[in-house]
Chain A
């Protein structure tokens, strides 16, 4: 059974950092481009960042460039999102997903507030 399990969300003050993790199982993680998608409360879905199979190529939406870093450890089948200089508009549920949306995690809530 395919599983993607996110962790690391929580309440954080503006300007601080948070690191999300996503543990994958049930499929060959290293064969898939991976992505983080977020959903602000009561809003739609928004792609945040992607990473190639080997980790050599990464892509970010403009609003997070220079603040967020996506990475992966294929040996541990784990995806990461390092989020620095967090802003209130980053408040959302963050989902880990394969890049074409075939598999999704349950999401982890990040709340940026003082």
Chain B
């Protein structure tokens, strides 16, 4: 199985700060069609996960452009600029290139 390694496991942030979360995969996530199926999700406390970014860098509908995703092959980053209170929760990277699909262990974003 593809192992997704997310760092850091937790982040304490002040409102208005910017943060970055890293996600590294044990194999390249480039599929045979040339696309990279690496996504970022946020699970707020007590809620279902919500996808924010798909295929590395594409924002889902309604997601503010304070969120951005970059990376390629095996190394990916989620950046959140000007963190707001509603951004708090656990962030997961997920790959759907290879079966079985796998998630990172999560990064908990908390208020400082």
- Residues of A with Cβ closer than 8 Å to B? 35, 37, 44-47, 50, 59, 61, 95, 97, 99-102, 104-107
Contact = CB atoms under 8 A, between A and B. Distances in A.
A47 B100 contact: yes
B30 interface: no
A100 B41 CA distance: 11
Contacts, number: 51
A101 B39 contact: yes
Interface residues of B, number: 21
Contacts of B104: 44
A47 B96 CA distance: 10
24 contacts: A35-B101, A37-B49, A44-B92, A44-B105, A45-B49, A45-B92, A45-B94, A45-B103, A47-B101, A50-B99, A59-B100, A95-B49, A97-B49, A100-B37, A100-B39, A100-B51, A100-B96, A101-B39, A102-B51, A102-B54, A102-B60, A104-B49, A104-B50, A104-B51
B96 A44 contact: no
Given A45-B103, A46-B103, A47-B100, A104 B48 contact: yes
B51 to A, nearest CB: 5
A45 to B, nearest CB: 5
B98 to A, nearest CB: 11
A32 to B, nearest CB: 12
B67 to A, nearest CB: 15
B102 interface: yes
A68 to B, nearest CB: 13
